[in-house]
Structure 1
Amino acid sequence: MTDAGTRLRENVDSDDITVLPGAFDALSARLASERFDAVFTSGFGLSASTLGLPDLGFLDRTANVDRVDDIVKACDAPVVADADTGYGSALNVRRTVGDMIDAGAGGVIIEDQVAPKRCGHMDEKRVVGDDEARTRIRAAVDARDEADSDLVIVGRTDAREPQGMGSAVERGRALEEAGADVIFVEAPESREELERTATAFEAPTFANMIEGGKTPYMSYDEVEALGFDVVVYPLSSLLAYTRAVRDTYDALADEGETSSVGKLSFNEYDDLIGADEYRETAKEYAETNK
């Protein structure tokens, strides 16, 4: 079977922009892979769905890798995993990248925030110095190469908010020189800053579209027109899910049942998760025991 990283590279290197819908668990990843060629696991979304906590560094490496493993098994598309800061020193970055490869990820994002990190569209972020930022990427590249993997390494900088756009572009170039395959400048605050980000690097570029975030929100056609190669919509499904679940519980509390809320039928859901296939397999084993 083709390496997930190879499949992801083919997507990124194609003429069309690679669109990454955000998945926050195995079921949302399965749904995303029905319509898209790659899927993204958001640290924000995994922290919410696993712990019910904000994206402030609560989700540790083991929990993140475990969720990524579940998500990879649930969908056919290559998965880009948000690996935060790599969870420590260069040795920790190597371990994180190795674990993500073992889990079957096609790509990872390594960022330059000071630990504990926070969501890229929050204020008061801090980033490490140039040497440590480069070292994280070098460690990720070494771990990838030693595993003989084609994992795509996305170098992310959060320098825009604390240091300004000029520093963010310089940091992105440092990550590119260290070996990042794709450059992700987080949270540009205007269309002009997005345009600058899209054209500042030789490597493919990555944009992040969050409803209500710091960056102007655009369709992926608009993002592609600016020159980006990859765009992620990390929180759309999580925010929609949260609204739908809250509406369902409100209906149950206020109306005594939930028929007023739009939802899949039981049989539609059964089909979605492939229950018939498992039932047929179970019958085969039952017949051998007769």
Structure 2
Amino acid sequence: MRQNGLLDGAARLRARLSRGGILACPGAADALSARLVADAGFGAVYMTGLGVTASRLGTPDLGLMTQSEMAEQARAFVRACDLPVIADADTGYGGPLNVRRTVQEYAQAGVAALHLEDQETPKRCGQLAGVRLVSRAQAVGRLRAAVAARDEMQTDTLLIGRTDALQPEGLAAALDRAHAYRGTGVDLVFVDGVKTRAEVEGIARGLEGPKVVSLVDGTDAASLTLSELDDMGFSVALYAVTALFGAIAGARAALLDLRQNQHPAALPPATYADYAKIVGLSEHQHFAHLHEDEG
């Protein structure tokens, strides 16, 4: 699989967003899932913090992943997947210097875009109750530090300002923060934690300019179609858990079937040939054959 330099991924994402129309971006928990997103024909992949935490630690998304672990996972995505990678960067992992290093590490990993949120540390999944926010001034400071770090590096990496104020403080507070975050120089803003169609519609009405929405399977908001979200003016739709929940269901069913029947299913939903295609086995074998020692 061809690897793209950091400017290439970001430049391609900027070019895609500049054409207008909404970009559907499924989440992936690991490099294999990122390859599946690419194989399905999507234009970008989202490195979901919830999924990465589940994949690497087997725990809930409660701020347990470190900056270095997340940056390492992002690098693996970029190496494995020929798509722009939009990555979760949590709170930036500390103060202004930590935010600066986070932007540096993610950009050097080849990430096309990253989002920073306004939760206290340790953060938690935006869909959970009990989210605690830093002050608006502190959140603005984080984003300004990220913009300064990006400008220092002279990269094209896109920055997304995320607020988790919707559930704890309501729509008006979330929109107020989102407007303030746009003023820092970030490329897009993102109100997370939506559960209903009404909340998505309220964000669309109250927030002009490039914006991100994240839809969680099983919520009322997830019944909105991509066309409806496009009509509302959203630039990117994240589907963070669709592949993860599908993988959990598929693996659970296969393992229960194995336990009950004492052998794998005669007609598995995926075959070794499917696996070999996704991981690029023939390409790797071809490269090895060309460069084998002829002596």
> How would you bin the TM-score normalised by the shorter chain?
over 0.9
Cα separation, 1, equivalents of 2:23 and 2:177: 23
What is the CA deviation profile of residues 14-34 of structure 1, one whole-angstrom value per residue up to 9, with x for unaligned ones? 222011110111011011122
Q: Is the 8 A contact 2:196 2:219 kept in 1?
A: no
What is the CA deviation profile of residues 135-163 of structure 1, one whole-angstrom value per residue up to 9, with x for unaligned ones? 11001111111111111111000011111
Q: Is the 8 A contact 1:210 1:217 kept in 2?
A: no
Q: 2:200 pairs with 194, 201, 209, which one?
A: 194
Shift of 1:189: 4.3
SS in 1 for 2:86: strand
Equivalent position amino acid for 2:15 in 1: E
SS in 1 for 2:64: coil
Cα separation, 1, equivalents of 2:237 and 2:222: 13
Aligned match of 1:23: 28
Stretch moving more, 117-126 or 181-190: 181-190
Distance change in 2, residues 1:250/1:131 (3 Å)? same
Q: 1:116-155 alignment to 2 at 5 Å?
A: 116-155=122-161
The TM-score with structure 1 as length reference comes to 0.95
Aligned match of 2:82: 76
Equivalent position amino acid for 1:162 in 2: P
Distance change in 2, residues 1:106/1:287 (3 Å)? same
Cα separation, 2, equivalents of 1:214 and 1:129: 30
Equivalent position amino acid for 2:181 in 1: L
Cα separation, 2, equivalents of 1:261 and 1:96: 45
Stretch moving more, 33-42 or 213-222: 213-222
Q: 1:98-113 alignment to 2 at 5 Å?
A: 98-113=104-119
Aligned match of 2:211: 205
Structure 2: stretches of 5+ with no match in the other structure: none
Q: Is the 8 A contact 1:187 1:214 kept in 2?
A: no
Aligned match of 2:49: 43
Aligned match of 1:175: 181
Q: 1:12 pairs with 17, 36, 50, which one?
A: 17
Equivalent position amino acid for 1:7 in 2: R
Number of residues of Structure 1 aligned to a counterpart in Structure 2: 289
Cα separation, 2, equivalents of 1:284 and 1:13: 41
Distance change in 2, residues 1:260/1:58 (3 Å)? farther
Shift of 1:216: 4.9
SS in 2 for 1:109: strand
Cα separation, 1, equivalents of 2:273 and 2:257: 22
Shift of 1:113: 0.5
Cα separation, 2, equivalents of 1:216 and 1:160: 17
Distance change in 2, residues 1:52/1:214 (3 Å)? farther
Q: Is the 8 A contact 2:22 2:236 kept in 1?
A: yes
What is the CA deviation profile of residues 110-136 of structure 1, one whole-angstrom value per residue up to 9, with x for unaligned ones? 000111111111111011101110011
Aligned match of 2:261: 255
Q: 2:280 pairs with 267, 274, 282, which one?
A: 274
- 1:33 correspondence with 2:38: yes
Q: 1:161 pairs with 143, 167, 172, which one?
A: 167
Q: Is the 8 A contact 1:37 1:77 kept in 2?
A: yes
Structure 1: stretches of 5+ with no match in the other structure: none
Shift of 1:191: 2.7
Identity of matched residues, %: 36
- 1:63 correspondence with 2:72: no
Q: Is the 8 A contact 2:88 2:115 kept in 1?
A: yes
Cα separation, 1, equivalents of 2:273 and 2:285: 14
Cα separation, 2, equivalents of 1:14 and 1:110: 25
